[in-house]
Amino acid sequence: MRNRSIETDTYRYTHYGNADVLHAHRHPLDAPGFGQVAVEVIAAGVNHMDAFLRNGRESTWHDDPWPRGSGSDFAGIVTATGPGAERFRVGDDVIGHVRTGAHATHLVVDAANLVHKPAGLPWETAGGLYLAGATALRVLDDLRIGADDTVVISAAAGGVGSIQAQIARYRGAHVIGTCGDRNFDYLRQLGIRPVRYGEGIEDRIRRAAEGRRVTAFIDNFGKDGSDIARDLGVAPGRYRSSEDRRDVELDLLKDDPESVARGTATLAQVADLAAAGAFRLLVSGLYPFADIIYAFDDLEKLHARGKIVLATHPVTPYRVMRAREIHEAMA
Ligand SMILES: NC(=O)c1ccc[n+]([C@@H]2O[C@H](COP(=O)([O-])OP(=O)(O)OC[C@H]3O[C@@H](n4cnc5c(N)ncnc54)[C@H](OP(=O)(O)O)[C@@H]3O)[C@@H](O)[C@H]2O)c1
């Protein structure tokens, strides 16, 4: 089945820079080719890696042609399918990933990049699931985090950390999460022991461990993690740095067929875990699609709780008040 003259707005940029280099480009959507599916995007996550690729800090794909697209996570509804994409039907709810180009109202992707959205999983959650969720899970699997572990996770209230900490908890680990004071209640609600980052953190982690030996350390934030892990006696093989996380993210964004298949398999696992209630992804910043610059500004302040997500059909054209602002206004 084919698209009938659908137009898409796609964020593109023609040179490296801050989020204000992003401009919506309207153009007719291609009909899906062999093995492809057209999707109307409902929600799309924003990630630090999107910003790093756009501002040139991450140069892995510096040979990509211009203009370039933005965004890797999305969830939406199938509007058309090409031959050989029979796994999906028009009207199916899907979650997907692309290396770039998810920040669009519609897109055409290979069916290999999609999984069915579990019924009941909210659109915002689904839209922000891929890069953060798959990174969180791969690092946990790589370290084989399980019930015998006492694991420290830095930036535990953030996009990757909040998913990672909850899945580790779901597997029975004792989880200590670093965060600012403002996120203590949030982490406690998830069964995670909050510890304030900054001077003296080793002592606070030891107290939070309550006599247990810290067996693993995941440094999402990328500050002093290896020194702290060493001082806590964590074996080098059970420490993962922010650079390790970068490698995981870049692997998840590769677009050769084998990498895409692995990425989609990890996405399916993450979606299943979300559907099973292993974690709840808090979306504390839901921005209308047109407000992408505000969404990235919010992300780059480095104090998001859970994820920041773009919505193509928000219930109000005004920026949705963020859960953490409500919390802080009440504090
Ligand atoms: N190495 C890489 O290539 C790479 C790739 C992706 C991401 N990163 C970095 O990883 C970090 C987390 O990623 P994310 O996607 O989860 O981002 P995120 O959702 O933006 O993370 C924000 C969280 O970071 C916490 N945070 C702020 N300052 C901190 C500090 N000094 N120590 C520990 N936590 C702190 C915040 O907690 P409070 O609000 O409670 O302070 C907030 O909950 C970001 O800083 C990002 O730049 C690095």
Q: Which ligand 1 atom sits closest to the C-alpha of 156?
A: 43
Percent of the chain with pLDDT over 90: 91
Give the pLDDT score at 328.
67
Output the CA 156–ligand 1 centroid distance in Å. Answer: 8
What is the 8-class DSSP label of residue 27?
E
Regarding predicted confidence, which is higher, 122 or 328? 122
Output the CA 46–ligand 1 centroid distance in Å. Answer: 13
Residue 138 has pLDDT above 90, yes or no: yes
Pocket test for ligand 1, best of 47, 48, 184, 307 (most atoms within 8 A of CB): 48
The number of helices, as runs of H, and strands, as runs of E, in the chain is 11, 15
pLDDT band of 152, cuts 50, 70, 90: very high
Which of 121, 126, 151 lies closest to 139, judged by CA?
151
pLDDT band of 153, cuts 50, 70, 90: very high
Give the pLDDT score at 331.
59
pLDDT digits (tens, 9 = 90+) for 85-103: 999 999 999 999 999 999 9
Percent of the chain with pLDDT over 70: 94
By CB atoms closer than 10 A (0-12, 13-18, 19+), residue 228 is buried
Q: What would the two tokens of residue 16 be?
A: 């490296």
Q: Which residues pair with 13 in a beta bridge?
A: 68
Pair 79, 39: CB distance under 8 Å: yes
Output the CA 305–ligand 1 centroid distance in Å. Answer: 10
Mean pLDDT of 18-23: 98
Pocket test for ligand 1, best of 154, 183, 302, 303 (most atoms within 8 A of CB): 302
How far CA 213 is from CA of 172, 175, 235, 300, in Å, comes to 15, 12, 11, 34
Output the CA 302–ligand 1 centroid distance in Å. Answer: 6
Give the pairing type, strands 114-116 and 106-110: unpaired
Residue 155 has pLDDT above 60, yes or no: yes
Residue labelled with tokens 């600012």: 180
Domains 7-129+281-325 and 144-241 share a fold: no
Right CATH number for 144-241 from 3.30.1360.200, 3.40.50.720, 3.40.50.300, 3.40.50.1100? 3.40.50.720
Residue 314 has pLDDT above 80, yes or no: yes
Residue labelled with tokens 């390790």: 244
Give the pLDDT score at 329.
66
Q: Which ligand 1 atom sits closest to the C-alpha of 161?
A: 16
What are the sequence ranges of the domains in the chain?
A: 7-129+281-325, 144-241
pTM score > 0.85 for this model?
yes
Identify the H or E element spanning 216. Answer: strand 216-218
pLDDT digits (tens, 9 = 90+) for 228-264: 999 999 999 999 999 999 999 999 999 999 999 999 9
- Tell me which architecture the domain covering 7-129+281-325 has in CATH: Alpha-Beta Complex (3.90)
pLDDT digits (tens, 9 = 90+) for 192-201: 999 999 999 9
pLDDT band of 321, cuts 50, 70, 90: low
Our CA angle for 171, 176, 180, nearest 5°, is 135
Which of 180, 137, 177 lies closest to 154, judged by CA?
177
pLDDT band of 77, cuts 50, 70, 90: very high
Give the pLDDT score at 327.
62
Give the pLDDT score at 224.
78
Mean pLDDT of 26-48: 97
Regarding predicted confidence, which is higher, 327 or 42? 42
